[in-house]
C-alpha cells in the first residue's frame, strides 16, 4: 500500500511516516520544510520516503501535480497551520493554509485515480465550545472564535460539503484532540514548552494552569487515523469521527505540569505567566463513542502513561538515536495493544 501524508515534516506527520514504514508500507509526503531540530530531521525520516516533495498547499497547481505524480492509494491530509496563538499573529496565512489548502488537496485527490481512501484531519476545536463537561459528539454544532479554530471548522464544513457534492474516493473527517508525544518542538504548546524549560534548568511559564484538556499520546491518535482509513478501504468509514481519549484523560494543565516536573526531576519547576494572555477555552473534550462502537477503536495509553512515555522519549534521546527511540515506542505500543486484545 502506498500512503501519501501531507504535512509529513510536522510532529504527527513524522510519527505517521515512521509508523507506516515500520509496517512495511510505501510512504510519500508533501509539505513545507521541517522546523530546525524537528523529529523529521533528527530521526532522518526523509530517508524512508519514496517521495519527499516540498509543496505549499496554498498553490493549487503545485499540489495537484504533486499528488497526481505520486499516485498514492491512501491520502492523509494533515498539512495545516496548527497553532492557535500563531493564528492571532497571522490570520491570513492560517485561513489560506487551512481552508484554501484543504480545498486544493480535495481537488487534487479527486483528480488522482489511484486514490482509494482519503482522510482529512481537522481538530477538536471545530466544535462550538460552551465549556460543557461531556465531550462533544460528531453531530454537535461546529463553530469557533479564534482564527485557528474557525479556519479548521471551515475546512471541516468544506470537506463535508465536498463529500456530498463532488465525486471522488471514499472520504472521512477525523477530529483529534490535544496530542502529546516525543519530538514535538512547536512553540506555544504545553509539553514542548515544559521540555525546553526543564532541559535548560529554567522555570516553565504557564498561561492557563487551570484549563482542562483531554491528553492523548500521538500513537493512539495515529492508530485512530489508520483505523478510519482501513474502514474506508473496506467499504465503510465515511463521515466524521472523533478520535480522542476518554474522560479519565481530562486533566488540567496544572496537573500535567506538576507531573511532568516530577518525571523530569532536576528541580524542574513552573510558574504562571504574568500579564495579558490571548483567550483560550477552559474546557474542551471529545466523545469517541462512535469510533469505539462502529470501528472498534479505543485508546490504549492512559493519560499517566501518555505523559510517562513522552517525558521518557525526551530523556532517552539525550543519549540515544531519536529514530530508534521512536521505533521502540511504536513496537512497544503494538506489543502491549495486541496482548491486551
Q: Is 210 within the bounds of a domain?
A: no
Kindly state whether residue 338 falls inside one of the protein's structural domains: no
pLDDT of residue 280: 58
At 276 the pLDDT is 54
Phi, then psi, of 95 in degrees rounded to 5: -70, -40
φ and ψ of 328, to 5 deg: -65, -40
For residue 211, the model assigns a pLDDT of: 86
| pLDDT for residue 295 | 97
CA distance 124 to 227: 18
The number of residues making up the chain comes to: 341
For position 255, what pLDDT does the model report?
A: 95
Residue 48 within a domain:
yes
* C-beta separation of 26 from 88 below 8 A: no
At residue 84, the pLDDT reads: 87
How far is residue 341's CA from residue 328's CA, in Å, rounded to a whole number?
20
Provide the residue range defining the domain that includes 294: 2-177+215-247+285-307+323-333
In a domain, residue 115? The reply is yes
Residue owning grid cell 491530509: 77
Domain count, the chain: 1
Task: Look at residue 275 in the predicted model and tell me its pLDDT.
Answer: 55
Q: d(Cα 49, Cα 13) in Å, to the nearest integer?
A: 12
The secondary structure element, H or E, covering residue 101 is: helix 101-110
C-alpha gyration radius of the chain: 19
pLDDT tens digits in sequence order for the chain, 341 residues long: 999 999 999 999 999 999 999 999 999 999 999 999 999 999 999 999 999 999 999 999 999 999 999 999 999 999 999 888 899 999 999 999 999 999 999 999 999 999 999 999 999 999 998 877 788 999 999 998 899 999 999 999 999 999 999 999 999 999 988 899 999 988 888 999 999 999 999 999 998 898 888 899 999 999 999 999 999 999 999 999 999 888 888 899 999 999 999 999 988 899 998 655 555 556 778 899 999 999 999 999 999 999 999 999 999 999 999 999 999 999 999 999 877 65
Provide the CATH number for the domain around residue 91: 3.40.50.720
The predicted pLDDT at position 341 comes to: 59
Burial class (CB in 10 A: 0-12, 13-18, 19+), 92: exposed
pLDDT confidence of residue 186: 86
pLDDT at 207: 85
Distance CA 116, CA 233 (A): 7
Establish if 108 belongs to a structural domain. Answer: yes
d(CA 301, CA 165): 38
Selection from 203, 95, 208, 218 nearest residue 153 by Cα: 95
Predicted local distance difference test score (pLDDT) of residue 279: 56
Amino acid at each position: 500500500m502506498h500512503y501519501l501524508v501531507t504535512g509529513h515534516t510536522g510532529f504527527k506527520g513524522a510519527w505517521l511516516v515512521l509508523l507506516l514504514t515500520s509496517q512495511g508500507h510505501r510512504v510519500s509526503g508533501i509539505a513545507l520544510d521541517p522546523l530546525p531540530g524537528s523529529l523529521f530531521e533528527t530521526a532522518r525520516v526523509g530517508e524512508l520516503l519514496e517521495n519527499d516533495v516540498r509543496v505549499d498547499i496554498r498553490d493549487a497547481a503545485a499540489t495537484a501535480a504533486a499528488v497526481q505524480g505520486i499516485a498514492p492509494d491512501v491520502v492523509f491530509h494533515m498539512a495545516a497551520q496548527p497553532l492557535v496563538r500563531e493564528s492571532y499573529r497571522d490570520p491570513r496565512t492560517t485561513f489560506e493554509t487551512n481552508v484554501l489548502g484543504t480545498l486544493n488537496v480535495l481537488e487534487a485527490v479527486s483528480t488522482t485515480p489511484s486514490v482509494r481512501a482519503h482522510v482529512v484531519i481537522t481538530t477538536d476545536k471545530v466544535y462550538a465550545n460552551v465549556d460543557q463537561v461531556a465531550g462533544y459528539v460528531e453531530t454537535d454544532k461546529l463553530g469557533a472564535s479564534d482564527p485557528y479554530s474557525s479556519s479548521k471548522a471551515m475546512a471541516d464544513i468544506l470537506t463535508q460539503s465536498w463529500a456530498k457534492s463532488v465525486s471522488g474516493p471514499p472520504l472521512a473527517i477525523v477530529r483529534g484532540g490535544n496530542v502529546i508525544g516525543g519530538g514535538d518542538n512547536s512553540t506555544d504548546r504545553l509539553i514542548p514548552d515544559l521540555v525546553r524549560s526543564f532541559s535548560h534548568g529554567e522555570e516553565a511559564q504557564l498561561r492557563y494552569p487551570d484549563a482542562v484538556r483531554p491528553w492523548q499520546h500521538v500513537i493512539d491518535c495515529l492508530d485512530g487515523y489508520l483505523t478510519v482509513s482501513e474502514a474506508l478501504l473496506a467499504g465503510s468509514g465515511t463521515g466524521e469521527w472523533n478520535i480522542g481519549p476518554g474522560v479519565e484523560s481530562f486533566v488540567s494543565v496544572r496537573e500535567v505540569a506538576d507531573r511532568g516536573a516530577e518525571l523530569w526531576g532536576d528541580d524542574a519547576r513552573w510558574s504562571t505567566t504574568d500579564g495579558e494572555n490571548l483567550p483560550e477555552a477552559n474546557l474542551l473534550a471529545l466523545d469517541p463513542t462512535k469510533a469505539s462502537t462502529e470501528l472498534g477503536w479505543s485508546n490504549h495509553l492512559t493519560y499517566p502513561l501518555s505523559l510517562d512515555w513522552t517525558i521518557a522519549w525526551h530523556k532517552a534521546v539525550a543519549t540515544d538515536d531519536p529514530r530508534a527511540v521512536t521505533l521502540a515506542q511504536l513496537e512497544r505500543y503494538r506489543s502491549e495493544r495486541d496482548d491486551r486484545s
